[in-house]
Amino acid sequence: MRPGWGWSLLLLSGALLAATAMGETALPFGQVLKVLANQLAGAHYPLDPIDVGIVWNYRLPRALVAAACGAGLAICGVILQALLRNPLAEPYLLGISAGASTGAVLVSVLGIGGGLISLSVGSFLGALLAFTLVIVLARASRASGSAGLIILAGIASSQLFNALTAFVIARSANAEQARGILFWLMGNLSGVRWPAVALAVPVALLGLGVCWWQRRALDAFTFGADSAASLGVSVRQLQVLLMTCAALVTAVMVSLVGSIGFVGLVIPHAVRLRVGPGHGLLVPLSALAGAVFLMAADVLSRQLIKGQALPIGVITALVGAPVFAALLLHGSHRR
Partner 1 sequence: MKLPAYPALALLASIATSALAAPTQYPLTVQNCGKALTFDQAPVRAVTIGQAGTELFYALGLGDRLVGTSLWFDAVKPEYAALNAKVERLANNEPSFEAVIGKRPQLVAVQFEWMVGPQGAVGTREQFHDLNIPTYLMPSDCVGKDNLKGADGTRLQAFDINTLYTSVLELAKIFDVDHRGQALVADYKARLARAAARAQASAVKAPTAVVWFSSAALATDPFVAGQQGVADYLLNAVGIRNVVTSTEEWPTVGWETLAKANPDFIVIARMERRRFPADDYQKKLAFLKSDPVTRNMDAVKHDRILIVDADALQASTRLFDGIEQLAEAREHYRP
Question: What does the binding site for partner 1 look like in residue numbers (CB under 8 A)?
Answer: 23-25, 49-50, 53-54, 56-59, 108-109, 111, 115, 118-119, 172-177, 179-181, 183-184, 188, 190-193, 302, 306-309
Residue 331 CB, nearest approach to partner 1 (Å):
37
Locate all alpha helices (DSSP H) within the chain, ordered by sequence: 2-21, 29-41, 49-53, 60-83, 96-108, 119-140, 147-172, 175-185, 194-213, 215-221, 225-230, 235-257, 263-275, 279-303, 312-334
Q: Toward partner 1, which CB reaches closer, 61 or 154?
A: 61
Closest to partner 1 by CB, 258 or 268? 258
- State the minimum distance, in angstroms, from the CB of residue 89 to partner 1: 30
Taking the complex as a whole, the smallest distance from the CB of residue 212 to partner 1 amounts, in Å, to 33
Helix (H/G/I), strand (E/B), else coil: 20: helix
**DSSP string of 204-234?**
HHHHHHHHHHTHHHHHHHTT-HHHHHHTT--
**Smallest distance, Å, CB 252 to partner 1?**
16
Of 34 and 215, CB closest to partner 1: 34
Residue 46 or 115 with smaller CB distance to partner 1: 115
Burial of 143 (0-12, 13-18, 19+ CB in 10 A): exposed
CB of residue 256 to partner 1, shortest distance in Å: 11
Q: At its nearest, how many Å lie between partner 1 and the CB of residue 322?
A: 26
- Residue 66 CB, nearest approach to partner 1 (Å): 15
117/111 Cα distance (integer angstroms): 9
> Tell me, what amino acid is at 332?
S
Rounded to the nearest 10°, the torsion over CA 81, 86, 90, 93 is: -130
Single out the residue of 92, 104, 100 nearest to residue 316, CA to CA.
Answer: 92
CB nearer partner 1, residue 308 or residue 332? 308
The residue among 79 and 109 lying less far from partner 1, judged by its C-beta, is 109
| For partner 1, the closer CB: 133 or 185 | 185
Residue (258 or 284) nearer to partner 1, CB? 258
Spatial contact of 267 and 293, defined as CB atoms under 8 Å apart:
yes
CB 96, CB 251: distance < 8 Å? yes
Which region, left, alpha or beta, applies to residue 166 given φ > 0 means left and ψ of -120 to 50 means alpha?
alpha
> Which one, 309 or 327, has the nearer CB to partner 1?
309
The nearest distance, CB 34 to partner 1, in angstroms, is 17
Short-list 86, 75, 247, CA closest to 157: 247
- Cα separation, 254 vs 26, whole angstroms: 29
Minimum CB distance to partner 1, residue 219 (Å): 41
